[in-house]
Structure 1
Amino acid sequence: MFAPQVASQPPSSRDSPRLCPQLTRSELEGRQLLGSEPPVFTPSLHRSLRKDHEEAGAGAAARQAAIFFRPRTSILDYTELMCQGSDHMRGLVTCFWTVVGAYLVSLLFAHYERSGEIMSRGLAGVIFSRAADLMISDLALVASTAAVVPMVHLLWVGGAWRLPALLDPRHQGRGRLVQAAFEVAWLAAWYVWLGTRGWPWAQRCFFSLHTVVNWMKVHSYLSSNRRLACALRDVAYLRAQRKRQSDSADSADSAANDAETDAEIDALDAMLCPYTTRFPANLTLANYAMFQLSPALVYELEYPRTERIRWSYMAEKLVGTAGIFVVFYVVVAHLVIPHLERMPETGVFVATLHLMGPMATCWLLFFFITFDSIANGFAELTRFADRRFYDDWWNARGLDEFSRKWNRPVHMFLARHIYMPVRESWHPGHPRKHPRVDDAHAPRQSSATVLSRLRQGVPPAIAAMAATFFFSSIMHEVTVVMACQRWNHAPLFFFQMMQIPLIICSEKLPWLKEQQALRNWAFWLAMVTFQPFLLCLYTYQAFANSSSSQSLDVIVAGGAVNAMVAANATKVS
């Protein structure tokens, strides 16, 4: 599944990822003809294939394939910064972790002075309770996603597992309906399972997030392979059409038609076999297992791959994950939870003011543990060479730019499977059926509807952006609701959707568009204040109920004590 690839600027250190030599497409084809080692996937081949797609004008399929992977390192990866001798961010990263370490020592010492213990152990009981149950459920969750491999074989590819004339992937309506039914059923089943386990909040948060991540992998695998199955049938259709034209037309017309058809077949063939693996040879459990382990949410036939695994780098990321988790634990246990417990008495506003600093720290720690330690660790384990899991989100001038740079795997998923399809299909004259599906089996054209009127008045870019934000907001809200096990009138959904008019205003107002520093300050102010505010809104009722139950216990206990005192007084008298 993965093929070695070279970086455009190879790292200077011996310990950085070693990548195989760069080859052009002609050299790769020559090596295939000579029967030598499997060719490597290189940046020059990447550019060649992209140019072929653009020249072929393959429409939506070409634009969907415009998301490329290539060997890159993470911007703040401390090991790579040290190995490559980069002076741009190295000192800042060193300063950040030094300050975090000093902050940790101060917190632990202050807690020791107050309570006589080094670290609060109350949160540990919540995190590690029912750990075996959570681990077994999570393994079952991951294993259940492997059902997509036989599903693609049965529905769209054919061969030994073919069900008789079940479905043509080029029927967009029926194909998407079957896929959506499977995905919704899978997601609902695991959410029901989460709701019946009775886990503490820490386990619910982890499982709900991992469920969404695995759903994204399932959706990308099914959508990408359905698109490839369409291309496979298109190639067969074009070859049969070329044969019919050659038999019926004269020599001049036949040569012109054959040349045009051959060019289209070559473009589709590049999609079916971009590097070394040809669809449907990729439909194996081993191929899917590698995709499941890789830190990518967009499925490709092949990814850039490093030459070897650096076990010292893996050990460093493992130790880094444990260290960041300890800091995260101390901040949450000593600075976040105490203020949330007092929130029913102090109020949401006061709790938000107290939590601005701790929540900003937790946010940064979550970023490092997810995208620097865990993602890079799995990338090294699978020899995944594209380590661009984030961009310079700290320079963002708005929440839209932040959403693109903060979490690139999710951004690429939304761009591939939400933004690009909506933008392509939003044009008023967009065809509703695949051009190579027989008219007898084609879906009927619907009459003018509200959606068709919207297509005439709303630009495709705005519609695609709105659909992407709507989908992202729904998924965020569902994840939070499942983690909290209560619905709090969707403030997160509301604030995320409010980004759309803010983005449009920032682009339409020339004065605001030029205020880069002001927009960056506004972004940081929003991130520092709104995160603790949303946390307080979503957890207020839970802590209020907990406080009420504790107060009731105190009242009952006090009443029992008074009754015992009165009874004893009566006996004495």
Structure 2
Amino acid sequence: MEETKVVPAPLPTKDSIIPKYKHTLAIHSKARPSCLSHDRQTTPSFIGFRNLMVLVLSPFLKYQFINKYSSGCVEVLILDLLVSILVAGNLRLVMENFMKYGVLIGFSSGNFRPGDVQLGLLCYFMIPCHLLVAYIIELTAAGQARAAQATQKKTDESKPVKLRVRWKLIAFAHALNATLCLSVTSAAVYWNIDHPLIGTLCELHAVIVWLKLLSYAFTNRDLRDSYLESHPVPEIYASCPYPENITLGNLTYFWWAPTLVYQPVYPRSANFRMGFFLKRFGEVIGLSVAIWFLTQQYAVPTLRNSLIAMDRVNLAHIFERLMKLSTISTVIWLCGFFAIFQSGLNALAEVMRFGDREFYADWWNSASLGGYWRTWNRPVYQFMKRHIYAPLRGRGWRHGPASTMVFLFSAVLHEMLVGLPTKNIIGVAFAGMLFQLPLIAVTLPLEKMHGTSASTVGNAIFWTSFCLVGQPFAALCYFFAYSLRNQDIAPAS
């Protein structure tokens, strides 16, 4: 008799509702290379970066000319011209910065307190202990599930009352463990770690492990239900069915895997490529040095020179600082994106032989804000859709309220990641995330319209809100609040 293959149900779309959604959906079902990887058969378009250059150089060039003649060889010539103008303009800024400030970078500029370093290391090594606790909880639940299946035929109830109570206790234990993982680290970062970089790294690690704990608990809960009720699960899980997946090795792999979504089995690469790993690791080191240099030499002086304007609410000067900061913040952000999502995660995936490496898509071509949030950080997007959006849709929520809950959840995490390390819970990151909802609604029609004009306008709105309004403004606000808290309202000379 031919074996019937189980095809996993798709995630709910905007207009569909799944009556009983399961957290067991196989998000990672096949091996895929990253968008900018040489292993990819097709080369992505970079028209979004062209639009960014046009926005930057709009005082010098007419956009209609660029849009009209940007095809074939003419497009290459225009791009070369844009790059040349950008290089020339930024070289002037480099010389101006050097003549005004000299060399600002130095190895002693970090001001790391020994206590911060020690507590940061303690937090880093204590956080994974919660994964061990989660494993013990699931090991207990798996034992109960095996015993329940062995005696299930003796009762008419598929889930006896005692078993339902036990599952609630298991859920409570997972919730308590995950809450302690995030809350203890957050309290240590806010009250005891003064250096914002160390605090940010600790808080980021805690948030990542917290999300992994939630995914581990939700997925195994539904795998346990499927095991007891003989419901089908995705075919990829066949090599490691529940409860055989409840092992320390399986959880350890998930801990280090470059994903936030737990699966008993992931697609794997054929072998480990040392050359590929060394290249990606070298890129991480080089880009990290570049970010450090750009931050110390260019971003910090600009931020410091904005303090008096922020203190006096000098709107004209604030706007001028915002425009000046927008360029360097965009460059730093792009370096950080490439270092993390292209180089760092690919290096980690190579070590773990993790096959699905679609950590991002061509977000720079996004014709709407919604397209950007779906493509720039795929691990977080996949977690949000699998464990928040899709379950809410399965419970009957409409698309709008479910999306609002996703962004509300994300807004809280953004505020924690920025506000706790800087000791300033001022709500700018929170409000910035919620403000994405009306921007998504405004740009959604542009994404659905056919033709280059609509997509170009949507892409321009994305870059404008991203480069000019979003990150530079948030950086100014948090730097001002941090300086005010530390009584450091004094500009660079």
**Do the structures match in fold with TM over 0.5?**
yes
Which of these residues, 449, 465, 469, is aligned with residue 407 of structure 2? Answer: 469
Deviation at 1:144, TM superposition (A): 3.0
The Cα shift of 1:127 comes to: 9.7
Residue 199 (structure 2) aligns with: 204
CA offset at residue 520 of structure 1? Answer: 0.9
Whether the 8 Å CA contact 1:390–1:407 is kept in 2: the answer is yes
AA aligned opposite 2:479: T
The equivalent of 1:14 in structure 2 is none
Equivalent pair of 1:168/1:175 in contact (CA under 8 Å): no
Report the CA distance shift for 1:204/1:276 in structure 2 as closer, same or farther (over 3 A).
Answer: same
Instruction: State yes or no: 1:80 paired with 2:17.
Output: no
Bigger shift: residues 103-112 or 472-481: 103-112
Instruction: Confirm or deny that 1:50 pairs with 2:20.
Output: no
Shift of 1:171: 8.6
Q: 1:230 corresponds to which letter in structure 2?
A: D
Partner of 2:254: 291
Q: Are 1:396 and 2:382 an aligned pair? A: no
| Residue identity matched to 2:432 | F
- Quick check: 1:111–1:118 contact (8 Å CA) kept in 2? no
Asked which structure has the greater CA Rg, the reply is 1
CA distance in 2, matches of 1:545, 1:208: 20
Aligned pair in 2 of structure 1 residues 207, 108: CA closer, same or farther (>3 Å)?
farther
**1:418 match:** 388
Q: Which residue is 1:499 aligned to?
A: 436
Query: In the aligned structure 2, how far is the partner of 1:511 from the partner of 1:197?
Result: 46
Retained in 2: the 8 A contact 1:469–1:496?
yes
- Deviation track 1:301-349 (CA, whole Å, cap 9, x = no partner) reads 1000012111111111111111000110111001111122222223343
1:388 alignment partner AA: E
Conserved? CA contact 2:261–2:379, under 8 Å: yes
Aligned amino acid, residue 498 of structure 1: F
Deviations 1:336-369 (A, max 9, x none): 1112222222334333222100110111011011
Equivalent residue, structure 2, for 1:526: 465
Superposed counterparts of 1:136-215, under 5 Å: 136-155=122-141, 157-158=143-144, 168=163, 176-215=171-210
Deviates more, 1:153-162 or 1:324-333: 153-162
Q: Distance in 1 between matches of 2:282 and 2:326?
A: 28
SS in 2 for 1:419: helix
* Contact map agreement 1:272 1:278 (CA 8 A) in 2: no
In structure 2, distance between residues paired with 1:72 and 1:467 = 30
Percent of residue pairs identical: 22
Q: Which residue of 2 aligns with 1:361?
A: 331
1:540 maps to 480
Q: CA deviation at 1:108?
A: 8.2
Identify the range of structure 1 (174-183 vs 383-392) with the bigger mean alpha-carbon deviation. 174-183
Higher relative contact order (CA 8 A, sep 6+): 2
Distance verdict in 2 for CA 1:85–1:534, change over 3 Å: closer
After superposition, where does 1:100-111 map in structure 2 within 5 Å?
none
**1:140-539 equivalences in 2 (<5 Å):** 140-155=126-141, 157-158=143-144, 168=163, 176-235=171-230, 268-271=231-234, 274-347=237-310, 348-426=318-396, 460-488=398-426, 490-507=427-444, 513=449, 515-529=454-468, 530-539=470-479
What CA deviation, in whole Å up to 9, does each residue of 1:227-275 have, x standing for no partner? 111112213xxxxxxxxxxxxxxxxxxxxxxxxxxxxxxxx24459733
Gap regions ≥5 residues in structure 1: 1-24, 31-44, 236-267, 427-458, 552-573
| 1:386-418 Cα deviation digits (max 9, x unpaired) | 110001101112222111101000000000100
CA–CA separation in structure 2 for the residues paired with 1:201 and 1:375: 23
Q: What one-letter code is carried by the residue in structure 2 that aligns with 1:472?
A: S
TM, length-normalised to structure 1: 0.66
CA distance in 2, matches of 1:288, 1:142: 11
Could you tell me how far apart the structure 1 residues matched to 2:212 and 2:101 are? 46
Letter aligned with residue 141 of structure 1:
I
Q: 1:547 to 1:154 in 2, by over 3 A?
A: same
TM-score (ref. length: structure 2)? 0.76
2:411/2:429 contact within 8 Å kept? yes
Unpaired runs of 5+ residues, structure 2, are: 51-78, 149-159, 311-317
Mapped to 1, the partners of 2:184 and 2:372 lie a distance apart of 32
Amino acid at match of 1:186: C
Between the aligned partners of 2:35 and 2:488, the Cα distance in structure 1 is: 48
Contact 1:156 1:169 in 2 (8 A): no
* C-alpha contact 2:308 2:490 (8 A) present in aligned 1: no
How many residue pairs end up in the alignment?
Answer: 433
Q: Which amino acid aligns with 1:369?
A: A
Contact kept? 2:294, 2:328, Cα under 8 Å:
yes
Distance 2:44 2:465 in 1: 30
Q: CA deviation at 1:192?
A: 1.9
Contact 2:123/2:185 (8 A) holds in 1: no
Measured in 1, the distance between the counterparts of 2:11 and 2:490 equals: 65
Q: CA deviation at 1:373?
A: 1.2
CA contact (8 A) 1:61 1:227 kept: no
Do the aligned partners of residues 542 and 232 (structure 1) sit closer, same or farther apart at CA in structure 2, a change above 3 Å counting?
same
Contact 1:297 1:409 (C-alpha < 8 Å) held by counterparts = yes
Q: Which amino acid aligns with 2:197?
A: A
Specify whether residues 233 and 125 from structure 1 end up closer, same or farther in structure 2 by C-alpha distance, changes over 3 A only: same
How do 1:23-34 and structure 2 match up within 5 A?
none
Counterpart AA for 2:39? E
**Matched residues in 1 for 2:349 and 2:395: separation?**
34
Alpha-carbon separation, structure 2, partners of 1:351 and 1:50? 51
For 1:373, give the aligned amino acid: S
Q: Deviations over 1:168-221 (max 9, x none)?
A: 469987665543333223211221222343230111111111111111111000
Cα shift at 1:50: 2.7
Letter in 2 for 1:338: P
Counterpart residue type for residue 189 of structure 1 = V
